[in-house]
């Protein structure tokens, strides 16, 4: 029995002229042979779709497991790119993916539309009334969807079905080109192609903190790829809530140790009396309550990675013992004279300025230098520009599902408020803000709304500048807090590492690229702690 909420278009409707169709499709066909960024290919694809079939919004979504991920949008709010649509939560998407041809939904369909409230620039009109979706197949498998939406219920009455089918074939070819390019890049640069997937795996969710397109986000991604290919100790720094643990998880997931354990320890969560036991283990009778032998985190992480979060909280005594383990791979369980050999990569994280802690005598200089072989700074949210809106979109969709609403959206003044704010708590603060604001705004409604709009008043954010006294999101270079020698050493280390990755750890080829004598490169590598 045919679902009465779905209307199939037919070839008997008004046709586009062959000239108009050719004029629109020809540039896209030429693009197939040009070297273009993926985002630009997709942008041109959606622009052409709306030129041929005028509507209020279009989107290209890739199927990632059980979730549709927007890759490009045209006419939808910016935060849509950050949303992750679980297919089981959206019956229209499920219906589109189950078909092998374009499907148009009737204006009075009772299936909720995922884009209600997200169409840009339409004052007072929030719900989509004409919706068309087309599945895309690559190699006979469902790859994703192209969607076209309009607020006018009769917008697609005169749709030219043969023209749409021709466009869909070209859209599939465009997507296929991108997939083939990525396959070729994987052949030559395996680490780069694995980075985004590692981020998803590391976060345990759908790209949570690792949603973005800003330059700061891309630089972080590149650095993670570089250091993951080595076995160096990494010191991840950044403000509270930026996602330092997810960065550590990503480094492990991309490394040669990915199949081995990743053991985490929050150094601030344990009293000094228990830190040694947690790190190195203990033997029976080592202290009151030690009723049996117990392996510590380092032994559990043998062959893999240990992540020391809030490493700045460790006492000087524990720092000295950790330094010994990191230098020679040997440890003693608490209360034992026997030594155990371990092979563990260390990734540490802190929101403190450890260089300042060293100067103040609260942190060992030798331990600090051992930890910061490769320092990696995670940028604060205020430096990530419009990534804020993408992340907000992710959290809005999470709360829409949690609250059982058709849509949760941001008003224009709410978006502006998010971009103005300095975000001292970073991504974690944004997540809590969206959840709290949605719940309070819903509670304030007399009747349960189909579409909940969050305004700047609902967010209740201060417009004050950040702690530096400068407006948030200022486009300025990162402040340099290191001395000159340290900055030069960091630059040399990263340059050598990047070349090593390109040449698959071949030191001779690296020396040739850098224009160095192999013996000089060997001495430099030892000075930088790379050998």
DSSP 3-state of 149: strand
What pLDDT score does 475 carry? 36
DSSP 3-state of 529: coil
Q: Classify domain 381-459 at the CATH topology level.
A: Helicase, Ruva Protein; domain 3 (1.10.8)
Average model confidence (pLDDT) for the chain? 81
Residue 20 has pLDDT above 80, yes or no: no
Q: List the structure tokens of 305.
A: 């990675």
Does domain 195-377 fall into CATH 3.30.1490.20? no
At 336-359, the pLDDT tens digits run 777 888 999 999 999 999 999 999
What pLDDT score does 471 carry? 43
- Rounded Cα distance, 7 and 307, in Å: 55
Residue 463 has pLDDT above 90, yes or no: no
At 230-256, the pLDDT tens digits run 999 999 999 999 999 999 999 999 999
**Please, where are the H alpha helices in 451-517?**
456-459, 484-502, 507-514
Closest Cα partner for 490 from 177, 205, 235, 124? 235
At 161-216, the pLDDT tens digits run 777 877 787 778 777 776 666 555 444 444 444 544 554 454 444 344 478 889 89
Domain boundaries, the chain: 6-186, 195-377, 381-459, 484-527
CA 188 from centroid of its chain's CA atoms: 23
Q: What is the mean pLDDT of residues 480-493?
A: 65
What pLDDT score does 345 carry? 96
Q: What is the mean pLDDT of residues 292-314?
A: 90
Reduced 3-state DSSP string for 79-96: HHHHCCEEHHHCHHHHHH
Instruction: Give the percent of the chain with pLDDT over 90.
Output: 41
Q: List the structure tokens of 158.
A: 């005169």
What pLDDT score does 94 carry? 94
CB 456 within 8 A of CB 411: yes
> Of 50-54, 81-85, 471-475, where does mean pLDDT reach its minimum?
471-475
- Higher pLDDT among residues 54 and 88, named by residue: 88
Residue 269 has pLDDT above 60, yes or no: yes
Q: List the structure tokens of 29.
A: 């066909």
What pLDDT score does 368 carry? 95
What pLDDT score does 95 carry? 94
What pLDDT score does 181 carry? 60
State the CATH class of domain 484-527. mainly alpha
Q: List the structure tokens of 380.
A: 């604060």
DSSP 3-state of 188: helix
Superfamily classification of domain 6-186 = GAF domain (3.30.450.40)
* DSSP category for residue 76: B
State how beta strands 141-150 and 57-64 pair.
Answer: antiparallel
> Of 132-141, 147-156, 503-512, where does mean pLDDT reach its minimum?
503-512
Q: What is the mean pLDDT of residues 489-496?
A: 78
Rg (CA), the chain: 27
Concatenated DSSP letters of 303-360: TSEEEEETGGGS-HHHHHHHHHHHHHSEEE-BT---EEE---EEEEEESS-HHHHHHT
* DSSP category for residue 362: S
Query: Please, what is the Cα angle at 287 between 281 and 290, to 5 degrees?
Result: 60
Q: List the structure tokens of 116.
A: 């209600």
What pLDDT score does 79 carry? 93
Closest Cα partner for 374 from 494, 263, 478? 494
Reduced 3-state DSSP string for 201-269: HHHCCCCCCCCCCCHHHHHHHHHHHHHHCCCCCEEEECCCCCCHHHHHHHHHHHCCCCCCCEEEEEHHH
- Rounded Cα distance, 405 and 465, in Å: 34
Q: What is the mean pLDDT of residues 68-82?
A: 92
Which letter, b or e, does each residue of 263-301 get, where b requires 16 or more Cβ atoms within 10 Å of its Cβ? bbbebeebeeeebbbbbbbbbeebeeebeeebebbbbeb
| Residue 285 banded pLDDT, cuts 50, 70, 90 | low
At 364-398, the pLDDT tens digits run 999 999 999 999 999 999 999 999 999 999 999 99
Q: What is the mean pLDDT of residues 122-136?
A: 78
Fold: same for 195-377 and 381-459: no
For the chain, helix (H) and strand (E) counts, in that order, are 19, 18
Residue 439 has pLDDT above 80, yes or no: yes
- Higher pLDDT among residues 5 and 183, named by residue: 183
- Higher pLDDT among residues 200 and 76, named by residue: 76
Q: What is the mean pLDDT of residues 84-92?
A: 94
Sign of CA dihedral 8, 14, 19, 23: negative
DSSP 3-state of 155: coil
φ, ψ at 100 (rounded to 5°):
-115, 15
- Higher pLDDT among residues 289 and 334, named by residue: 334
What pLDDT score does 66 carry? 92
- Rounded Cα distance, 126 and 449, in Å: 12
Residue 69 has pLDDT above 90, yes or no: yes
What pLDDT score does 207 carry? 42
- Higher pLDDT among residues 356 and 130, named by residue: 356
């Amino acid at each position: 029995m045919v679902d009465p909420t779905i209307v199939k278009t037919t070839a008997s409707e008004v046709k586009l002229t062959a000239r108009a169709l050719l004029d629109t499709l020809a540039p896209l066909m030429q693009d197939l042979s040009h070297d273009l960024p993926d985002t630009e290919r997709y942008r041109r694809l959606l622009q052409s779709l709306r030129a041929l079939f005028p509507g209020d919004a279009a989107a290209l979504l890739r199927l990632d497991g059980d979730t549709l991920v927007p890759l490009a949008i045209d006419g939808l709010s910016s935060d849509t790119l950050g949303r992750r649509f679980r297919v089981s939560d959206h019956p229209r998407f499920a219906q589109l993916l189950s078909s092998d041809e374009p499907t148009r939904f009737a204006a009075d369909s009772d299936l909720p539309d995922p884009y209600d409230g997200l169409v840009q620039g339409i004052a007072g009109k929030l719900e989509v009334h004409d919706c068309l979706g087309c599945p895309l197949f690559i190699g006979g498998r469902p790859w994703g969807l192209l969607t076209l939406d309009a607020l006018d219920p009769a917008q697609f009455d005169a749709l030219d079905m043969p023209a749409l089918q021709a466009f869909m074939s070209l859209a599939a070819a465009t997507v296929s080109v991108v997939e083939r390019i990525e396959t070729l890049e994987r052949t030559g640069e395996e680490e780069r192609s694995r980075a985004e997937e590692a981020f998803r795996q590391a976060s345990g969710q759908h790209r949570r903190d690792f949603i973005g397109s800003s330059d700061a986000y891309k630089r972080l991604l590149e650095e993670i790829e570089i250091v993951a290919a080595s076995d160096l100790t990494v010191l991840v720094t950044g403000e509270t809530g930026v996602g330092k643990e997810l960065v550590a998880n990503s480094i492990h997931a991309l490394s040669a140790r990915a199949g081995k354990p990743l053991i985490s320890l929050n150094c601030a969560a344990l009293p000094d009396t228990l830190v040694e036991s947690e790190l190195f283990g203990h033997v029976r009778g080592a202290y009151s309550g030690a009723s049996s032998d117990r392996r510590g985190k380092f032994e559990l992480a043998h062959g893999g990675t240990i992540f020391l979060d809030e490493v700045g909280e460790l006492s000087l005594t524990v720092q000295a013992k950790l330094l010994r383990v990191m230098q020679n791979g040997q440890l003693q369980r608490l209360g034992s004279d026997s030594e155990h050999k371990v092979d563990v990569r260390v990734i540490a994280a802190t929101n403190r300025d450890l260089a300042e802690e060293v100067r103040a005598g609260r942190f060992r200089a030798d331990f600090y230098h051992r930890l910061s072989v490769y320092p990696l700074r995670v940028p604060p949210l205020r430096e990530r520009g419009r990534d804020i809106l993408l992340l907000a979109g992710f959290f809005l969709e999470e709360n829409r599902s949690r609250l059982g609403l058709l849509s949760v959206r941001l008003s224009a003044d709410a978006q502006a408020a998010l971009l103005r704010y300095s975000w001292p708590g970073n991504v974690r603060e944004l997540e809590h803000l969206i959840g709290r604001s949605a719940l309070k705004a819903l509670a304030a409604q007399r009747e349960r709304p189909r579409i909940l709009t969050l305004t700047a008043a609902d967010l209740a954010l201060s417009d004050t500048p950040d702690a530096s006294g400068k407006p948030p999101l200022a486009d300025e270079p990162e402040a340099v807090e290191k001395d000159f020698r340290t900055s030069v050493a960091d630059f040399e280390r990263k340059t050598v590492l990047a070349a090593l990755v390109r040449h698959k750890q071949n030191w001779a080829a690296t020396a040739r690229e850098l224009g160095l004598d192999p013996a000089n490169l060997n001495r430099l590598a030892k000075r930088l702690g790379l050998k």
